[in-house]
Structure 1
Amino acid sequence: MRAEGTVEAFRKAESLVAQRRPLEALRALGPVLDEAPDKPSVQLLAGRAYLFSAQFQRAELAFLRVIELDPSDHYARLVLGRTLQRQGRLSEAHTQVRLATTMYPDPAYQEVLGEIRAHIARVNASE
């Protein structure tokens, strides 16, 4: 695929994810993933599409790949935490979101961290 085609496919996939059309986004992103599997932006977009389509294991792998390529990516840690939370892996989710919040102390991140802590407290109280 030519560079212009790769960029165009990536932009189309971004637009589809923004429209919450993740399966279409993954189809558009397929050639980009083949062409540039080690680009954090490509893996992050794929992870978001997987997350939005409830393909949690694939999302987790994509976000882990982003973190492997760029350990300072706070957003990848946040969405990895969300993905783990959706799988019921609250302790692991807490760790990733806490790291993301430490790296980027945004109120939205802190809200997610509070939500996970509350969920853990509810689970512990019911045991």
Structure 2
Amino acid sequence: MDLLEEYRRATFFFESGDPLGAARLLEPIVEAEPQNTAVRQLLARAYFNSAQLVGAEAQLRALIEHDPSDHYAHHVLGRTLERAGRFREALPHLRLAAAMKQHTDYEEAVHRVEEWLGKSEQH
């Protein structure tokens, strides 16, 4: 198996709106090259986009373990946890990403989850 060619195919699938197809191609590449963060990040995004939240969470936690300063991995992990309804777990990751890098999406995610948690505590 030519891993680079498979990665290119997976990227094409992902960008063409087929995250499931991308994930199928990426899984064996991550197995073969577990330290390749670009492949692992694309697999996490493919899982997230196909609502495979457990898989996305596992890949993102591996990325953060490898590089705790990866603001994007923290943001997407926070979004994954938010999407799973795990708002309290999501908020620290979202806040950390927003503190590490100024980005509108990061700030909006923090505000959205803080607002949701504030509303849930009032009921």
Shift of 1:111: 1.1
Q: Distance in 1 between matches of 2:108 and 2:45?
A: 19
Which residue in 2 is equivalent to 1:102?
A: 99
Q: Which residue, out of 47, 59, 64, partners 1:62? A: 59
Which residue in 1 is equivalent to 2:17?
A: 20
- Kindly indicate whether residue 68 of structure 2 is the aligned counterpart of residue 71 of structure 1: yes
SS in 1 for 2:85: coil
Q: After superposition, what is the alpha-carbon deviation per residue over 1:12-65, rounded to whole angstroms, capped at 9, x for unaligned?
A: 212222233111001221331222122221211111111111111111010000
Which residue in 2 is equivalent to 1:44?
A: 41
Aligned 8 A contact 1:75 1:100 in 2? yes
- Kindly indicate whether residue 92 of structure 2 is the aligned counterpart of residue 114 of structure 1: no
Q: Which residue, out of 7, 23, 26, partners 1:10? A: 7
Calculate the aligned-residue CA RMSD, in Å.
1.3
- The number of equivalent residue pairs is 123
Q: Distance in 1 between matches of 2:64 and 2:82?
A: 17
Which range is displaced more, 92-101 or 31-40?
Answer: 31-40
Runs of 5+ unmatched residues, structure 1: none
Q: Which amino acid aligns with 1:60?
A: E
Runs of 5+ unmatched residues, structure 2: none
